[in-house]
Structure 1
Amino acid sequence: MARVVVMTSLRLTLLSFTALGFAVAAPGLAMAQEAPPVSDPAAGQRPPVIVPAQPRQSHPAHLPPAQTDPSADPAAKPDATSPAEPEDGEPATGEAPLPPPAPVIIPIPAVWAPAPRDAEGRTAYGLYLAGRNLVARSTTGDGDGALGAEYLASVQTLTPEQPTVRQQAFTAALLAGDLRDAARMAPSGPDIPPVLSEAGRLVQAIEAYAHGDARSATAVFKAQAIQMPHAAAGLLTQRWIAAAAGDWDFALIGPPPTSNDTFSQVLRFQRAQLLEMHRRYDEAEAEFKALSATPTAQPPFHSGYGAFLERRGRKAEAIAVYDAALAANPDSALLQAAKARVSRRFGRAPAMPTFKYGVAQGLTLAASLAADSRANEFAAVYLRMALDVSPSDDLRLLLGGALVSAKLEAAARDAMAPISPRNKSAYAAARLQIGASLGRDDRKDEALVEFRKAFAAAPDSQDIAYALATQLLELKRNDEALVILNGPLLNTPDQPAAVHFVRGAAYEASGKIAEAETELAAAVADQPNEPAFLNYLGYLWVDNGTKVAEGAALIERAHAAEPNDGNIQDSLGWAQFRQGQYDVAVVTLEEAVDKEPANAEINDHLGDAYWQVGRKREAGFQWNRVLTLDPDAERRASVEKKLAEGLPPQTPVTVTAPAPAATVGAEP
C-alpha cells in the first residue's frame, strides 16, 4: 500500500499567526539500535477519528474576570414585594417562564486599558513583540528562541483569553524544548488545527510520564488515541507508558493480525518485549520468532530475538539466530556486535529494556519517520520529548541533526553543547557538527575552534581531519591546511577524490600551480563527472592561460551538469572572455551575476567584459559594486586601479584543440 503522509509544519502554523515568520545538511536521523526503519502507519493502523470531548476547563488562575451586563444584576435577590415562587416551580401568575439567561461571552479586548504588565512592569504588548521577534530571528542564529518562547509564555499568562497568543506560545515552547510550559499551554477545542491540538495532547502525556505520573499519561491515550499528524508518536509510546502504569491489558493490545507492514511489525516487536517483561515468556517467544522467521527480516528483530534467547540461557540458539541473520546481512553492525557479545566466554546477556527506554525509543522512531517525511520540526519535538524521558548524548546528537535539518542552527548548537568530553566519541561528533553549523553561519574563526576541539578528542578521525583542513583553507591558512592534508591520516594510497581536491585548492592558493594541477587532475580522474572538480581545474587552466581550450571544455561539462550554479557560469563566462569572445561573455556573466549578485569576483569579471565591448560606464558601475562586497585586499587594489585607469587592450589567448577526453577526466 502506498504510504500516506500527513505532515504539517509546526513552524508554518506559527507563521500563519504572525507577521514575522520562520525560515524553514544533515542527513536523516540515524536509527537507534533496537528498532528498524518504519513507515507511516498504514490506513488500517491509524486510530479511528473520534469526536473530541468537551474542551477541559482552564485552571481558575488563568480565567479572566467575568464581565457583567450593567443593566441586569444576576445575583440580585427577588424584590420583597414580588410574589413568592411556588415550591413546585410553576409561575405564580400563570405567565410563561422566563427564558434562560444568555451565556456570558468574554470578549477579546481590542485595546487593553491599562495594558497587562508582569511583575517586572513589562507590558503584554512589549513581551509579545519581543518574543515573536526573538523566535523568528532564532532561525538565523541572531535570536534566542528559548528566551522568545519564555516571553510568549509570559504573555499567555497575562492574556489567557487570547487564543492566538496561546497557540503561538505553545508552538514556540515546543520548538525551544520547554515542554513543561508547552504542556501547560496546550491548546484544545474544535477550532484548533490537529497539528497543534494533537501535539498538545501528546506532550501532556509524555510530560506526565516523564515526571512520574504514568497513570495520567495513560488516561490521555485511553480517552482518545493521538490523531494525525502525531499518530505514529502516540502509537509507538502508549504501550510502554501503559505498562509502566500497570495497565497491562492496554499495553499488550496488538495490531490487527492481518497487518504485516513494517510499522505493524514494530508494534508487534514492542509487544514481544513487553510480554517478556510481564513474564509471559511463551507468548513473547512466539512473537519474536514470527518477526524473525526469515533471515532477511529487519536486523533489530533478529537481535531482539537473540537477546531474548540469551536472557533465557539458550546461548547456542541465540548464536544460530545471529549466524543466520548475518549470512543475509553481513554488514549489520548491530548483528556483528550481538554475535561478538554472545561469543565471548563470559559474555553477559543484555538487560531487558526499561519502560523509559521503550518510550524514548518510540519517540526516536517517530522522529525518524518525521525526518523521512521532511517534517524536521516534528522530529525535533519528538526528540526533545525523548530527552525529557531518558537523557543521553546519542539523543542530543540526533536532536542537533534534526534542528539543523529544520534550519534552526543556533538551537542545534545549543542542543549539542552539553555533551561532555568524557564521552569522547559523542563529544567529537558534537563539536564537528557545531563547527559545521558555525561555518554555515559564516562564523569561521569560531568554527575552527570547534573543529580543533573535535580533532583533539578524535585524532584518528579522517572525517574530522578533513573538516579541519578545509576550514583552515577557508581562512587562508594554507600552510597549516597542507600539513594536515599531507599527513599520514589523509595522504594515503586510497585517499578519496575530495582530499585530492582540497589539497589541490590549497596548493593553488599557495601559488604552487604545478602541484595544484596534479592534485586536481587526480580528483577529476577519480570522479570525472563531479562539477566542482571539473570547474576548479578548468578555471585554473583558463585563468593561467596555460590550457584555455582544455579548461573551457571541463567548465562546459561542469555547466551542463549544474546549469543553475552561478560560480560555474562565471567560470564559463571567464573562459569566453579569455578567448576573446567578449559579446558572448557579457551575456554569460550577466546571468552569473543574476544567480550570485553578492559575489565580488563575478561582478569584477562582468565589469571587465563590459569594458571590452565599450560599455565603460557600466563597467565602472560593476567595479564600484565590487568595492561594496568586502573583497580581499588584492582584488580591492586591482579594482581601484581599474576604476582609475581602465583596462588595457586584451590579447585573447590562442585557442588550440582540446586534449583527448581521457586526459581531462572524461569517462571512457
Structure 2
Amino acid sequence: MRFAFRRSALFAAASLIALGLAAPSLAQEAPQTPPVQDVPVQAEPEAEPSSEPDAATPDDAQEPEAVEADVPATPETPPIPAVWAPIPTDAEGRSAYGYYLAGRNALTSGESEAGADYLARVEALTPEQPRVREQAFTASLLAGDLDIAARIAPEGEGVSPVIVQAGRLVAAVQTFVHGDARKADAMLKAAPIGEPHARAGLYVQPWIAAAAGDWDRALALPPTDLDPISTLVARANRARLLELRRRYDEADAEWRDLTSHALASRLFRLPYGEFLERRGKRDAALVQYDAAVTAGSTDRATMEARARVLAKGRPPKAPDYRRGAALALKTAADQIIAQRALEFGVVYLRLALNLEPTDENRFLIGQTLQQAELEAAARAALAQVGRQDIELYAAARVQSALSYEKDGQAEPALTELRRAAEARPNEASIAYLLAGQLVQMKRFDEALTVLNGPLLTTADQGFEVHFLRGAAYEAVGRKPEAEAELWAALQLQPNNPTVLNYLGYLWVDTGARVEQGAEMIARAFAADPSDGNIQDSLGWAQYRQGQYEQAVENLEQAVAKEPANAEINDHLGDAYWAVGRQREAGFQWNRVLSLEVEPERKAEVEAKLRDRLAQEPTGDKGAGLGAES
C-alpha cells in the first residue's frame, strides 16, 4: 500500500525556516530585566488582546522569567445583563444586551475590533457598570482603538492596577499623539505611571517632556533604584535627547560610557554609530558597526548602517520627539514581551504605532499577537504591511501563511506564500515553504517543480530540501528518486528519527531492504518513543518480518497515540488477522472506513472485509481498539 505523507515532521522544519526568514531582518534582541512584580492579567474579555534597534540581550543574560499572572477573582454576581432593568437602548432601538452579546461573540471569534466597538457602545449606554467598562477598555486596547480606551479608562476602588495604570499611560500618550505635549507632560507629572506599566511610563515621559519644552524634566538622570538594564535604556534615551538639545559633547560622553559596558555595549553601538555619522565622524561610526558585527550582531539595521558608511551615504536623521517616544515604547514592549506578558507588549506597540505609523511597527504587532496565539488579530495586523519595504512585506506574508496553516486554512496560506515568493523571487527559504505547503495540500507535482527549480537544487542544499523532495517523490510513486533523496538527507543528519523512519518504512513496505529498514526504524523509535507514527512503522516492520505478536503490541500502542490515523488502524487490523483475532480485525478495518481515508486504502480495506470476513463494510465509528474478541 502507498506510504502516507506525514505532515508534522515536515512543518516543524518549515516553521523554523520561516522564523529564520523573518527574524534576522527585523526582530531585534530585547533587553531583559527582572520580572515585574504583582502584574494581574484580566480574565475578561477573552479578546485578541519590536523593537528599538539598540535593544539587545547581553550574551550571558539568563532566560527571562515569566510575569506572574495574578488573575482577579470574578465577583459572585449575576451576569452583567441581569441587572439592566429596563434594558438600555440607543437612538436606533438597539439594546445594550444585544451589543453585549455581539461584543462577546466577536471577541471569542477573534474579531477584536468589532468586539471592542460593541463593548464601547455598551459602556456608553451603561456607564454605571464597572465590569462592562473594564471589558470595553481592555478590548479597545488590544484592538488598537486607543482614543476610545483613553476616554473610558476606568479608575477608582476595586479596579485592578493593571487597568488603572494602563489607562493613565494610554491617556497621556494619546494626548501627545493629538498634539498637546504640555497637557500630556502635566498628566505624567501629576500622576507618574505605576506598576506594572512604570517602565513604559519612565521611558516615554522624557520625550513628552522635551516636546513640551520641559527640558529639566526631559534630561533628568534616571532614578537610582532602577534595575541595571532599564537604567541603561533610560540613559540611552537621555543621550538622544542631549543631541536634540545640541549638547553634543554630553551626548557623546553618555554614548561612550554606554558602549564601554562589557555585557551591554552591543546594545548601544548602532545608535552611537548613527550619532557619530551625524557629527561627520564616519570612521569612528564604522568602528562601532564593526564592533557590533564582531560581537555577533547581524540585524539588518546594523548591516545597512555599515554599508551606508562605506558608501559615504547620508546619515540617518536623529529621532524627533514622536519617533523617540515610539522607540521608547517599543523598547518597553521588547522587555515585557521577553517576560511573556504579550498582551502588554501589544498595547505598547499599538501606542508606538499611533506615534509612528510604520510597517515595521505593524509587523511587530502582528508578530506579537502570533506569539500570543491570537491568530485572527495577528493576520489583521500583518495584512496592513505594505510593499514599500519588500523584505518586510515578504516576511509579513510568510508569518500570515504560517498563521493560516496553524488554523487549518490551507488555501489562504498558499496564497500568502505565493505573494511572498512573487515579492522575493530569489529567496530560497520562501521557495522551500511554498513547496512544503504544496506537499501538505497533496499538490505534489507543483511542489516538485519548485523543489527541482534553481533556488533549491544547489550543491549545498540542506537536509530539509532533500527530505521534502524525497517525501514528494514517494507520494507520486517515484520510489527510486524518493530513496535517493531520503538517503541524501540521512547522510546530512544520520541520527534524525524522522528521516530514519521515512526511509526505513519505505524499505520495509516495498520489501526492498526489510531488515535494514527495520533496524533504522528501531533507531528512530529509540530516539523518539512518543511518536505514534514511528511506533506504527516499528510494528509494521515486525509484521513484515512475521513477528506478529510483537507487531500487535506496538500497533495497539500506536493507535492509542494516533487514534484517527487510518493507516495505523489498518495495520493493526492486519496484525490482528495474522494472530487469529478475526473479529477484532473486522472492527479495526471498519474503523478505518469511518476515518478520513484515501480512495486506494478504502478499496483495499473494503476488499479485506468482503474477502476475509464476508462482511459488507459498515464504517462503524464505534469500532476500534479494545473491541470484544
Q: Which residue, 90, 95, 109 being the options, matches 1:123?
A: 95
Partner in structure 1 of residue 403 of structure 2:
437
Determine whether 1:483 maps to 2:449. yes
In structure 2, what is the equivalent of residue 33 of structure 1?
Answer: 53
| Partner residue, 1:135 | 107
Aligned match of 2:179 in 195, 202, 212? 212
Task: Give the distance between the partners of 1:9 and 1:636, measured in 2 at CA.
Answer: 53
**Matched residue type, 1:216:** K
Q: For the structure 1 residues 455 and 120, does the alpha-carbon distance in structure 2 shift closer, same or farther, using more than 3 Å as the test?
A: same
Please say if 1:357 is aligned against 2:323.
Answer: yes
Report the residue type matching 2:336 in the other structure: A
Shift of the 458–186 alpha-carbon distance from structure 1 to 2, 3 Å rule, reads same
Structure 2 residue 215 is matched with structure 1 residue 239: no
3-state SS of 2:207 partner: helix
- Residue 4 of structure 1 is matched in structure 2 by 35
Partner of 1:665 in structure 2? Answer: none
Q: Mapping of 1:163-312 within 5 angstroms?
A: 163-256=130-223, 261-293=228-260, 297-312=264-279
Cα separation, 1, equivalents of 2:139 and 2:58: 28
3-state SS of 1:118 partner = coil
By how many angstroms is 1:485 displaced?
0.9
**Paired residue for 2:574?**
608
Per-residue deviation, 1:499 = 0.4
Give the conservation status (yes or no) of the 8 Å contact 1:455–1:464. yes
**Separation (CA, whole Å) in 1 of partners of 2:322 and 2:499:** 49
Q: Which runs of 5+ in 2 are unaligned?
A: 1-31, 63-79, 615-629
Cα separation, partners in 2 of 1:117 and 1:633, compared to 1, 3 Å: farther
Determine if the alignment matches structure 1 residue 343 to structure 2 residue 343. no
Does residue 638 (structure 1) correspond to residue 610 (structure 2)? The answer is no
Return 219-228 or 239-248, whichever deviates more.
Answer: 219-228
Name the structure 1 match of 2:280: 313
> SS of 1:13's equivalent?
coil
Name the structure 2 match of 1:468.
434
State the AA in 2 paired with 1:515: E
1:571 matches 2:591: no
With over 3 angstroms needed to count, the CA separation of the structure-2 counterparts of 1:13 and 1:264, relative to structure 1, is same
**8 Å Cα contact 2:353/2:361 also seen in 1:** yes
Q: 1:386 to 1:494 in 2, by over 3 A?
A: same
Scaled by the length of structure 1, the TM-score of the pair is 0.78
Judge which range, 424-433 or 501-510, deviates more.
Answer: 424-433
Q: Is the 8 A contact 1:608 1:647 kept in 2?
A: no
- Amino acid paired to 2:275: F
Distance in 2, Cα, partners of 1:304 & 1:2: 21
Alignment of structure 1 residues 446-595 onto 2, 5 Å: 446-595=412-561
Distance 2:207 2:532 in 1: 52
Is the deviation greater in 326-335 or in 578-587? 326-335
Partner SS for 2:44 = helix
Contact 1:175 1:380 in 2 (8 A): yes
Alpha-carbon distance between aligned partners in 2 of 1:582 and 1:23, rounded to the nearest angstrom? 51
- Separation in structure 2 between the aligned mates of residue 624 and residue 184 of structure 1, nearest angstrom: 62
Distance in 2 (CA, whole Å) between partners of 1:537 and 1:406 is 37
Q: Is the 8 A contact 1:360 1:387 kept in 2?
A: yes
Change (3 A) 1:490 1:110: closer
User: Which AA in structure 2 matches 1:160?
Assistant: P
Contact 2:270 2:302 in 1 (8 A): yes
2:470/2:485 contact within 8 Å kept: yes
1:448·1:468 contact (CA, 8 Å) conserved in 2? yes
Output the amino acid matched with 1:222.
K
Contact 1:9–1:378 (8 Å) recurs in 2: no
Task: Give the Cα–Cα distance (whole angstroms) in 1 for the partners of residues 559 and 127 of structure 2.
Answer: 51
Contact 2:181 2:212 in 1 (8 A): yes
Give the secondary-structure state (helix, strand or coil) at the position aligned to 1:469. Answer: helix
* Shift, 1:263, TM fit: 2.5
1:389-432 deviations in whole A, cap 9, x for unaligned?
11111112211111111111111111111222343222222222
Give the whole-Å Cα distance in 2 for the aligned partners of 1:360 and 1:647: 72
> Superposition RMSD on alpha carbons, in Å?
3.1
Distance 2:58 2:126 in 1: 42
Could you tell me how far apart the structure 2 residues matched to 1:109 and 1:32 are? 44
Could you tell me how far 1:152 is from its partner in structure 2?
1.7
Q: Residue 514 of structure 1: CA displacement? A: 1.3
Q: Normalising by the residue count of structure 2, what TM-score does the alignment of the two structures yield?
A: 0.82
Which one has more relative contact order, counting CA pairs under 8 Å at least 6 apart? 2
Distance 1:566 1:211, change over 3 A: farther
Whether the 8 Å contact between 1:295 and 1:328 is mirrored in structure 2 is: no
Is 1:420 the equivalent of 2:381? no
Asked whether the 8 Å contact 1:8–1:375 carries over to 2, the reply is no
* 1:386 alignment counterpart: 352
Q: Distance in 1 between matches of 2:342 and 2:153?
A: 20
Kept in 2, the 8 Å contact 1:174–1:381? The answer is yes
Distance 1:277 1:146 in 2: 38
Residue ranges of structure 1 left out of the alignment (5+ in a row): 16-20, 43-107, 139-143, 649-668
Summarize the Cα distance change of 1:189–1:569 in structure 2 as closer, same or farther, 3 Å threshold: farther
Measure the CA separation in 1 of the matches of 2:386 and 2:322: 22
Q: Distance in 1 between matches of 2:165 and 2:357?
A: 24
Q: Is the 8 A contact 2:200 2:329 kept in 1?
A: yes
Matched, 1:161 2:135: no
Measure, in 1, the Cα distance between the counterparts of 2:570 and 2:486. 25
Residue identity opposite 1:124 in structure 2: A
SS of 1:122 mapped into structure 2? coil
Is contact 2:237–2:328 with CA below 8 Å preserved after alignment? no
The 1-side partners of 2:143 and 2:562 are apart by 34
Q: Deviations over 1:122-176 (max 9, x none)?
A: 32223222221221222xxxxx222122222222222222222222222222222
Aligned to 2:43: 13
The percentage of counterpart residues that share the same residue type is: 54
Q: How has the CA–CA distance of structure 1 residues 621 and 401 changed in structure 2, closer, same or farther, with 3 Å as cutoff?
A: farther
Q: Could you list the per-position Cα deviations for residues 191-226 of structure 1 after superposition, in whole angstroms to 9, with x for gaps in the alignment?
A: 222232222222222222222222333334323332
Alignment check: 8 A CA contact 2:48 2:142 kept: no
1:338, CA displacement in angstroms?
2.9
| Structure 1 CA distance for aligned equivalents of residues 308 and 587 of structure 2 | 70
Shift of 1:610: 3.6
CA apart distance, 1:183: 2.0
Query: 1:2, CA displacement in angstroms?
Result: 8.4
The AA in structure 2 aligned to 1:448 is L
Deviations 1:500-535 (A, max 9, x none): 000000110111111111111211221223332222
Q: C-alpha deviations, 1:239-264, integer Å up to 9, x for none? A: 22222222222222222569782321
| Contact 2:58/2:264 (8 A) holds in 1 | no
- Distance change in 2, residues 1:495/1:293 (3 Å): same
CA distance in 1, matches of 2:584, 2:96: 52
Asked whether the equivalents of residues 448 and 471 of structure 1 are also in contact (C-alpha less than 8 Å), the reply is yes
| 1:406 corresponds to | 372
Q: In the alignment, what sits opposite 1:663?
A: none
Equivalent position amino acid for 1:398 in 2 = L
- TM-superposed CA distance for 1:445, in Å, is 1.9
Q: CA deviation at 1:33?
A: 2.3
Secondary structure of the corresponding residue to residue 442 of structure 1: coil
